[in-house]
Amino acid sequence: MRIIDVIPLTKTPLALPQILSYFFSSNLPSGAVLIIPLGRRKEIAVVIDSHEASDLKMEIKNAGYELKPITKIINQEPILTNQQIKLAMWLGQYYFCSPGIFAKMMMPKKIQNSKLKVKNDNAKSKIIKSQRLILTPTISSIQKFADEYKNAILWHSELTKKQLNETWWKIKNSEAQTIVGTRSAVFLPFTSLKKIVVEDKTNPSHRSWDMFPHYRVHEAAKKLAEIFGAKLILKSEVPSVESFYNDQEGRRQTVSEAPASREAGKGWRGWPRTNSLPAPKPAIISDMRTELKDGNFSIFSRDLQKAAKETLAQKKQAVLFINRRGLANFVLCRDCGYIAKCKNCEAPLAHHLINFQPILFCHRCGHKENPPSLCPQCKSYRIKAIGVGSQKVEMEAQKLFSQVRLARLDNDNAPGAKDQQKIIESFVKKEADILIATQIIFSWMDEIKSAQPAMIGVISADTLLHLPDFQSGERTFQIIAGLKNILVPNQQLIVQTYNPENLIIKHAATGDWQSFYQEEIETRQLLNYPPFSQIVKLTFRHRNPKKTGLEAKILAAKLKQINKKTDIEISDALPAFIVKEKGRYVWNIIIKFKAQSSKLKMSNEFLLGRNSLLQYVPSNWEIDVDPESLL
């Protein structure tokens, strides 16, 4: 008789053991798949270990509960690899959630009756002994990286279940050398992984922010590289502050961060690059306050208008970047201050044109309503759309530049990868004179660079700058400096802002990473922000506003009372930046766990200490480790 240790492929309360034990008549290997009784239901589970029952006789006797037998064997051969199991267990600890959730993401699409392929002698000669993984942020960026590697196989959500299953087994059976995929490719059953490349590492699509669990792919990739002893390369046009700090401090010898551009990456050991191509023209920072004082009420500064007209006259192309979609950011009454907000989210409704009809639209829950002609609050007719979105830029560009050919790249106009690719190809083929783009452009940087636009205009550099989040400055720098990296000699970057003296904007416009980094890292150290700590955001949502606030305040007080460590900083409970989303009120608690290095943050000792506090967080709270935003 054997005792089989398993992890169920489901979310289980963290207060309960995540590794469960059952009786079975014979040995089962690690990675085998079976069905277990779990309470009143049956669940699929994966074997992680097996013991002789006689060896644990006293432990069983003193356990205080009766071990149950396994219900059914689905596949007695190992389905998950030992490396996958190690990764799932670590991710469960790192993100403080059930490891079975990650193990489930690692399974083939078809479990029942799955069979390992038996290879003959001829097939054995084709077994790949060195695998490499290329992780890209979006489906749209997969093909351009796949084209660089001969016989690469692809992994992404738009493949059919059959295609995904076939690909999974090819990797499992060592028949695939190069795998190019989006973030879930990090969970595939590699057997001889030697190299991992994370392309465009700072792209937010590398994070599972819209579905549970909320993991960052480069953290999973770091652990996977450690498990296999593989080389890990993180690429980005502009490095993140955390990665640059860790690299500078020499705390991670197996990881380097390099520019996303393959050409620019040759010989790189830091940013900015040395011995690079001649710089483009000095950037122009347009003061939009001066424009208003001088009577220019256009969304385009005179510098931008002049540069755009010269570009078009020379039969060259331009790019206009705006970090908002739609016509305007919100609708405001200039008499009483009323702002049209979503009834479900308490967020300002964006002004859009949908099927040529004006509509107010919530970007969080999708709620739509007609814009008011009079203020619902004071009945004033002085109600106006405020701010600028990509649709507004398109309309104003059409008015200002006669007979110009425009292309707009945003989630409204191009929601899918194929739609985006069509627009980008049109621009590269010179079928459009001006490309108006949101942040989607950063998934197509190489293509945009190949088109060699003569001018890039940043319509509003202030969009992200003043958000109450410690990463807002870094994101502003990455956007502006990233766009500047597209340009080659004799091309022009124009940055429009109401804050021309802001040092972040100045450093970004000149590409002065070192000055920005030095100021940013000093501020973060002073305030104990990453990389000097790990942040965990606790979020509570409820339809009753009083209950939400009360529950949050009670937990914050409880955690502060429990915590005896000086290297853990717990904030007061506070309403979220958008206090209501999808009909539920939102409150946050921010915890900073001091961690002087990325290596320490991944260590078992650090995670055990951190999780000893997180175990007191109720199960109806959301625990977000390394959150994308503190808002």
Residue 257 has pLDDT above 70, yes or no: no
Per DSSP, the chain holds a count of helices (H) and strands (E) of 19, 27
Is the same domain home to 506 and 540? no
76: in domain: yes
Is the same domain home to 509 and 579? no
Measured N-to-C along each axis, helices 82-94 and 217-228 cross at an angle, to the nearest 10 degrees, of 140
User: Residue 561 belongs to what domain range?
Assistant: 533-625
- Mean of the per-residue pLDDT values for the chain? 88
pLDDT of residue 390: 95
List pLDDT tens digits, range 61-100: 555 557 899 999 999 999 999 999 999 999 999 999 999 9
Residue 49: strand pairing partners? 5
The confidence band for 597, taking pLDDT boundaries of 50, 70 and 90, is confident
503: in domain: yes
Is the same domain home to 315 and 430? yes
Burial class (CB in 10 A: 0-12, 13-18, 19+), 475: buried
| Total number of domains constituting the chain | 5
173: in domain: yes
Residue 369 has pLDDT above 90, yes or no: yes
CA atoms within 13 A on the CB side of 462: 14
Is the same domain home to 500 and 542? no
CATH number, domain containing residue 570 = 3.30.70
Question: H-type helices in 256-344, by residue range?
Answer: 288-293, 302-313
List pLDDT tens digits, range 185-228: 999 999 999 999 999 888 888 998 777 888 999 999 999 999 99
List pLDDT tens digits, range 398-441: 999 888 999 999 999 998 888 998 999 999 999 999 999 999 89
Given 465, 495, 524, the domain boundary residue is 524
List pLDDT tens digits, range 152-193: 999 999 899 999 999 999 999 999 999 999 999 999 999 999
The model's pTM: 0.89
Is the same domain home to 250 and 318? no
401: in domain: yes
Strands (DSSP E) contained in 174-283 are 178-181, 193-198, 231-235, 255-258
Is the same domain home to 454 and 593? no
Is the same domain home to 395 and 444? yes
Distance CA 217, CA 536 (A): 17
Residue 337 has pLDDT above 70, yes or no: yes
Given 215, 241, 258, the domain boundary residue is 258
Residue 265 has pLDDT above 80, yes or no: no
Phi, psi of 189 (to 5 degrees): -85, 65
